[in-house]
Amino acid sequence: MPEGEPAVPRSVPIALGPHSTPLLERAITAGGGTVTELGAARALVWDGDPAGFPQRLPDGIEWVQLFSAGVEEWFDTDVFRNHPGVVFTSAAGAFARSVAEHALMMLLSGVRYLPEHVLARSWRQREFFPHIGTLRGATVAVVGAGGIGRELIALLHPFGARVIAVNRSGTPVSLPGVVETVPAHRLPEVWPRTDHVVVAAPATPETRHLVGKAELAHLKPTSWVVNVARGSLIDTDALVQALRDGVIGGAALDVTDPEPLPDGHPLWDLPNAVVTPHDSNPPHLRNAAFADRVRENVARFVSGRDPLARIDVVAGY
């Protein structure tokens, strides 16, 4: 190499499993890596679930990129315990735009009384008028102000909503429309002060049934609860009872507990419940977004920068 010319970074060997796809191969190459066998690799991009993941990775593996944004099922395995020296990253934030758009759609459908309109088979204008609301001037609690939550906050701002952002640390969320940031341990203060709730927090033992009977009782009879996180964050039995009794206005769920939601479950028949089958992030959008995340994190790995969405084994996400 002529003197004075900058060194060209060498391509980094990266394995792809449990199977290879042209989309991810191109993403790895675009980030500065070379697709190789696991035994010769320094990193692994894993686009499958925990089943089939190697019990023991080769000693040369320094970093693993996982496909899922939520990693609670990985904590039920020995993967992290078996590889204490390996950096694991999730896809948290990679799918935020698609999921946030879905959350906004679900919230608007409830506020504008769309479920009842869809079910109607006659002109019931005067009956519907009192129930139709607006996001303008309404307070929306976004519980879990991470990637999805921040994207949703940006979408809510043009509608004139006031947002209470809830995150683990209470670190201020500096986005237009956010009137307050509340740490998770102060969440009980939020329920009586909000008009609607969107749940976008990670699923951990601490967040199981984050929204239960007591929390629902503090909301307004016109409040809508939207869940685009994991079904376990809401107590399903308590929610069904609250919907039946008119404790809240309604619920819109892209995730349920149990999931899939079985035929004949009360949530399918309640007029103030909207259920979508965990399709806020459909495959054709999800695969492209994951490829973008792989390219970015490979580029960061090649250049020695911190990766996006490093998994905190202690925190559980």
Catalytic residue among 112, 259, 296, 300: 259
Catalytic residue among 102, 230, 286, 293: 230
184-206 per-position pLDDT tens digit: 999 999 999 999 999 999 999 99
7 has pLDDT over 60: no
Is 230 an active-site residue?
yes
Contact 129, 106 (CB under 8 A): no
How many Cβ atoms from other residues are within 10 Å of residue 252's Cβ? 27
Q: Which distant-in-sequence residues (6+ apart) come within 8 Å of 6 by Cβ? A: none
Q: pLDDT value at position 10?
A: 66
Q: Which residue has the higher pLDDT, 252 or 314?
A: 252
How many Cβ atoms from other residues are within 10 Å of residue 53's Cβ? 19
Total number of residues shown for the chain: 317
Beta strands in the chain (DSSP E): 12-17, 33-35, 43-46, 63-66, 87-89, 139-143, 162-167, 178-183, 196-199, 224-227, 250-253, 273-275
Catalytic residue among 83, 208, 209, 278: 278
Report the mean per-residue pLDDT for the chain. Answer: 95
77-131 per-position pLDDT tens digit: 999 999 999 999 999 999 999 999 999 999 999 999 999 999 999 999 999 999 9
Phi first, then psi: what are they for 157, rounded to 5°?
-55, -45
pLDDT band at 4 (very low <50, low <70, confident <90, very high): low
Q: Which domains does the chain have, with CATH numbers?
A: 12-91+283-303 (3.40.50.720), 95-275 (3.40.50.720)
Kind of pairing, strands 196-199 and 162-167?
Answer: unpaired
How many Cβ atoms from other residues are within 10 Å of residue 94's Cβ? 25
Is 278 an active-site residue?
yes
Q: What does the alpha-carbon distance between residue 18 and residue 60 come to, in Å, rounded to a whole number?
A: 18
206-220 as b/e, with b when 16 or more CB fall inside 10 Å?
ebeebbbeebbebbe
Q: What does the alpha-carbon distance between residue 175 and residue 172 come to, in Å, rounded to a whole number?
A: 9
297 has pLDDT over 90: yes
Q: What does the alpha-carbon distance between residue 149 and residue 126 come to, in Å, rounded to a whole number?
A: 35
pLDDT band at 3 (very low <50, low <70, confident <90, very high): low
How many Cβ atoms from other residues are within 10 Å of residue 59's Cβ? 8
Residue 211 in 3-state DSSP?
strand
DSSP-derived secondary structure for 87-114: EEE--TTTTHHHHHHHHHHHHHHHHTTH
Q: What does the alpha-carbon distance between residue 277 and residue 236 come to, in Å, rounded to a whole number?
A: 16
Residue 85 in 3-state DSSP?
coil
Whole-prediction pTM: 0.91
Q: Which residue has the tokens 């990775």?
A: 57
